[in-house]
């Protein structure tokens, strides 16, 4: 249907109400609204708070749009009511009441123009500078039963913020401001090495700096499982329960490790309920969203989604640059731009690897007494770079396929099975088999823990399709070429 070109003044929404079924018109109208909004809000906060948003309904009185979670909704209400009202007036020609809905399934619209930042956005939740990190031994008995002593470097201030993690950073800081009140449970998920543990520990420090009496229990999921097994063996469940159910804040890192542990899940369920009902804060991290944790009981999946579920994404190029600069500066010798660029281009997926590279380059330079240059960096990281020249990494394959099929890497690696996701996942497995030396089991491990027969089936299927369906064949050939080219 041709509607002719539309200017802001002759928007479809201005002339008739729009409902969720009018998907195209809603999208176009929202594009107009957000364009006008961006003249009133700076680019970084706009990216953080509105990149995951969509228009749901419009009529003469109301504009209803959705954002990804309660945190964003509250934040927008508190900070952007006025610019939103002005924007609606401009776009629709008369005032509209603005309503915000929450839709956890919203997919972010990525903006290639997004700029990084090394500090929190101006509008981020208020933080105290120099958060006091209290280690377990310093706290009055019983105040912090930490299985892992907090790392003093893991604070909000030391966390480099960019488009990929700004939301997670702001949400974690926000949740730590009012434990047990607003965002309970707080559930942070994303692949390994992206700063989940860093943010969890930052929350602990932040809560303690506000309330040194807070009883925080911070531990890895593994410790929880081991304690529970121990308590079962010693028939000492009462003490176990006393310990876990009498805290103000329970923080469990890597909760996905509850997968396949039925009895521990059962116990955790009761721990969760007791704490939740008493208004105590629960903070969890995981490598995948609640619904994708294999064998996790439905009642736990649904509870984990009650509060705030936040995804942390791999760092974009500019954020990697900022992290490299910051880490090298912290270690006493800031990398020149060309060295930082080399590393940011070569090491893409994981912040822990970036840190390791900084350490190696600095150690190598001081060992041979040379300045930090592109040449020294190449020498120091020769093995890392050589290993990469032969074959693409799984992260590269996952990134290419998810970009190509416009789905998120976490979906590709998760367990959901819509046709589109399942197809893209099979293509990724096929490419991994063709381009890397990973075993079938290994490949399955990258895609939600699938077994080797599933991987084999995927490979056969794509092999067949690539021959019988020209469109699929072209896509696979392009992806193969693109991935081979990157590594030469």
Residues of this chain that interact with ligand ADP (CB under 6 A) are 154, 159-160, 165, 192-198, 323, 351-352, 355
Please answer whether residues 374 and 411 qualify as being in contact, where contact means their C-beta atoms are separated by less than 8 angstroms.
Answer: no
Q: Minimal distance in Å, beta carbon 265 to Mg ion?
A: 20
Q: Which is nearer to Mg ion, 256 or 450 (CB)?
A: 256
Between 56 and 198, name the residue whose CB sits nearer to ligand ADP.
198
Closest distance between ligand ADP and the C-beta of residue 154, in Å?
A: 6
Q: Between 154 and 240, whose beta carbon lies closer to ligand ADP?
A: 154
Pick from Mg ion, ligand ADP, none: which does 160 bind, CB < 5 to 8 A by kind? ligand ADP
CA Rg value for the chain: 24
Shortest Å, Cβ 1 to ligand ADP: 46
Helix (H, G, I), strand (E, B) or coil at 64: strand
The option from Mg ion, ligand ADP, none interacting with 352 (CB < 5 to 8 A, set by class) reads: ligand ADP
CA pseudo-torsion sign 126, 132, 138, 144: positive
Which residues sit opposite 311 in a β-bridge? 189
- For ligand ADP, the closer CB: 12 or 193: 193
Alpha helices in 153-255 (DSSP H): 166-177, 196-210, 221-233, 237-245
Beta carbons within 10 angstroms of residue 460's beta carbon:
12
Q: Which of 218, 300, 200, 227 is nearest to 259 (CA)?
A: 300
CB of 249 to Mg ion, least distance (A): 18
Question: How many whole angstroms separate alpha carbon 382 and alpha carbon 355?
Answer: 16
Q: How, if at all, do strands 62-67 and 216-220 pair?
A: unpaired
Q: Please, which residue, 151 or 182, has the CB nearer to ligand ADP?
A: 151
Closest separation in Å from C-beta 352 to ligand ADP? 4
Please state the length of the chain.
488
198 makes contact, choosing from ligand ADP, Mg ion, none, with CB < 5 to 8 Å by partner type, with ligand ADP
- Establish whether the linkage from the previous residue to 252 is cis, with ω within 30° of 0: no
Residues 188-217 that bind Mg ion (CB under 5 A): 196-197
Residue 308 bridge partners (DSSP): 186
- The span from the CA of 33 to the CA of 363, in Å, is 52
53-58 and 62-67 beta bridge pairing = antiparallel
Q: Please choose which of Mg ion, ligand ADP, none residue 157 contacts, taking the beta carbon within 5 to 8 angstroms, the exact cut-off set by kind.
A: none
Which lies closer to Mg ion via its Cβ, residue 87 or residue 201?
A: 201
CB of 256 to ligand ADP, least distance (A): 12
CB-closest chain residue to ligand ADP? 195
- Tell me, by CB under 5 A, how many residues bind Mg ion: 2
Q: Of 171 and 362, which CB lies nearer to Mg ion in the complex structure?
A: 171
Dist CA 464 CA 456 (whole Å): 12
Q: Which residues bind Mg ion (CB under 5 A)?
A: 196-197
């Amino acid at each position: 249907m041709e509607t002719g070109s539309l200017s802001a003044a002759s928007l479809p929404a201005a002339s008739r109400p729009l409902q969720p079924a009018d998907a195209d018109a809603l999208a176009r109208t929202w594009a107009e609204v957000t364009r006008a909004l961006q003249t009133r809000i700076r680019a970084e906060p706009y990216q953080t708070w509105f990149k995951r948003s969509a228009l749901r309904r419009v009529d003469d009185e109301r504009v209803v749009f959705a954002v990804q979670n309660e945190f964003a909704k509250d934040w927008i209400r508190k900070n952007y009511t006025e610019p939103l009202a002005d924007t609606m007036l401009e776009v629709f020609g008369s005032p509209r009441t603005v309503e915000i809905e929450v839709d956890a399934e919203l997919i972010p619209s990525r903006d290639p123009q997004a700029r990084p930042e090394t500090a929190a956005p101006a509008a981020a939740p208020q933080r105290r500078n120099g958060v006091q990190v209290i280690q377990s031994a310093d706290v009055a008995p019983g105040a912090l039963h930490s299985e892992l002593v907090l790392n003093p470097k893991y604070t909000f201030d030391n966390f480099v913020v960019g488009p990929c993690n700004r939301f997670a950073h702001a949400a974690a800081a926000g949740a730590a401001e009012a434990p047990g009140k607003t965002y309970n449970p707080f559930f942070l998920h994303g692949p390994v090495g992206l700063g989940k543990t860093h943010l969890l520990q930052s929350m602990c420090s932040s809560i303690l700096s506000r309330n040194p009496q807070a009883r925080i229990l911070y531990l890895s999921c593994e410790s929880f499982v081991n304690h529970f097994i121990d308590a079962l063996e010693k028939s000492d469940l009462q003490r176990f329960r006393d310990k876990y159910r009498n805290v103000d804040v329970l923080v469990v890192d890597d909760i996905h490790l509850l997968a396949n542990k039925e009895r521990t899940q059962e116990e955790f369920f009761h721990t969760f309920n007791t704490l939740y009902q008493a208004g105590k804060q629960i903070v969890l991290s995981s490598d995948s969203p609640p619904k994708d944790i294999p064998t996790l009981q439905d009642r736990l999946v649904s509870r984990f989604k009650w509060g705030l579920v936040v995804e942390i994404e791999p760092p974009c190029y500019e954020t990697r640059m900022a992290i490299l600069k910051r880490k090298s500066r912290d270690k006493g010798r800031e990398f020149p731009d060309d060295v930082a660029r080399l590393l940011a281009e070569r090491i893409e997926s994981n912040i822990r690897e970036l840190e390791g590279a900084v350490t190696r380059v600095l150690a190598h330079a001081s060992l041979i007494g040379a300045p930090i240059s592109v040449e020294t960096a190449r020498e120091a990281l020769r093995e890392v770079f050589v290993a990469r020249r032969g074959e693409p990494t799984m992260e590269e394959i996952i990134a290419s396929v998810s970009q190509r099929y416009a789905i998120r890497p976490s979906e590709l690696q998760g367990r959901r099975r819509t046709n589109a996701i399942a197809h893209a996942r099979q293509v990724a497995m096929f490419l991994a088999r063709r381009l890397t030396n990973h075993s079938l089991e290994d490949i399955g491990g990258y895609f939600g823990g699938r077994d080797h027969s599933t991987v084999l089936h995927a490979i056969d299927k794509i092999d067949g399709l690539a021959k019988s369906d020209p469109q699929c064949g072209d896509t696979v050939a392009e992806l193969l070429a693109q991935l081979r080219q990157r590594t030469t």
